[in-house]
Chains A and B, each alone.
Chain A
Amino acid sequence: MADHAAHTHDSHDHAGLWDGAKEPFKASYGKLMMWYFLLSDAFTFAGFLIAYGTLRFSSPSWPVPDFVFSSLPGDIHHKPLIFVTIMTFVLIASSVTMVRAVQEGHRYNKKGVVFWMFLTILGGLAFLGCQAWEWTTLIGKEHMTIHNNPFGSHIENGVYLEGDGHDIKAGDSFVAGSSYMVHKHDGEWAPLKYKTESGDIKEQQLGPKAFGALFFFITGFHGFHVFSGVVFLLIIMINAWSGIYAKRANKYEMVEKIGLYWHFVDLVWVFVFLVFYLL
């Protein structure tokens, strides 16, 4: 051992800058490449979110998030943003349990790693479940698709001439900027007629089409990241359980790497949440 140590020390002294065997960033290859992958992924997501912003800027009106996202399981309506806040908590909680798994890995506590990773997986599945419910409601009940967006906004003041049997009655008045959802009856759009202040009779229009496509594509892409994350977490949890990472004696680095990915998914959600639900 002493000879070996002396030898490596010697070779380090004489090694040139480009001879390798040095880690200027003091991070392993795998960890470094995970960071650069995440950087490139951040650009992909940024591209999508900027596209959303661009189309929103280009449109005279845009669906209001606290009107669009206001349903809860159990047929509860008009509770703006509550459900997505719960989704956000689920993801934050699963990020926190992931940090604990990495910490237990540094102490070579196999049981701890498996336990906290298991909780992280449950969090990921819970988030996916929430998203599945959200999508089902939007597609099945509210008829939003990548081609159609029932959520519009009025561009002038007026009075409804007919009701939709839900929230709007004939004679209800509205102001410019207020939101509405066009319902479907027997598979056909049933826009309501209204009278504007200047006396014109008009019909509700569907909202900007791009909204549906952007919503499903961006939250879908994020959801796919969560799904892939759950699959990788599952594989790595089983590997950790088998003892393979303990043998590698590198402080469960694989757990640390999937942890980076998992936190990144949470990080992206911070911005998806900001762009789609808050602004």
Chain B
Amino acid sequence: MAGHLSYEEGKKVVVKGLILLGIVTIAEVLVALIGKGYIIPGFHMPVWLMYLFMISMSLYKAYFIVYEFMHMKYEMPGMVKSVLVPTVLLIWALIAFFTEGKSWKEWRAHTKDVAVNISNIPVSKHAEHKEMAPVKHVEEAIHVEAAEAIDSTKLNHTEEHKVEVEKH
């Protein structure tokens, strides 16, 4: 199936691929460095623009590798579809999991708020409401522990607040 290109044409594609992939990679790294102010001091690019550029350039590299180097361009349409169409499912995976990730972040923020509220209760108040306070305190502490169990990556700042809670 790969006989659609003559030997000489094939050699040209190889040289083209080497130069093209090299240039695109350099462009990506340059955007990463310029955008964050490494090369021109004080100059920054908007993050969304950098990300858009890098992601589209990477997708272009992927397209070039699959279509030229892996000869997908010269395969039968049915075969091309049978390989490429299933990858569309990944779009759903991206949306679903990144939404999930954001939700975890909100949980963490919630956990932090509860922990801060407890640590902010003045010591004198504890003393005044000695009969009431312990019950409330335990309830909230249980809540914090439960939320921390959800916190799968165990960020250090939650541990810091845990220490603060224990102090009081």
Contacts and interface: CB of A to CB of B under 8 A. Distances in A.
Contacts of B18: 92-93, 96
B69 A95 contact: yes
Most buried by A among B14, B26, B33, B152: B14
B136 to A, nearest CB: 26
B28 interface: yes
- Interface size class of chain B, counting residues whose CB lies under 8 Å from the partner chain: 35 or more
Nearest to A78: B38
A107 interface: yes
A53 B1 contact: no
Interface of chain A: mostly helix, strand, loop or mixed:
helix
Given A46-B93, A93-B18, A267-B62, A58 B78 contact: no
A103 B11 contact: yes
Contact of B14 (A103, A107, A155): A103
B78 to A, nearest CB: 6
Interface residues of A, number: 62
Nearest to A50: B97
Given A57-B98, A270-B62, 10 more contacts: A35-B83, A43-B86, A51-B97, A57-B104, A58-B101, A59-B153, A85-B25, A208-B155, A259-B70, A273-B25
Interface of A: 24-27, 32, 35-36, 38-39, 42-43, 46-47, 50-51, 53-60, 66, 80-81, 85, 88-89, 92-93, 95-96, 98-100, 102-103, 106-107, 152, 155, 205-210, 256, 259-260, 263-264, 266-267, 270-271, 273-274, 277-279
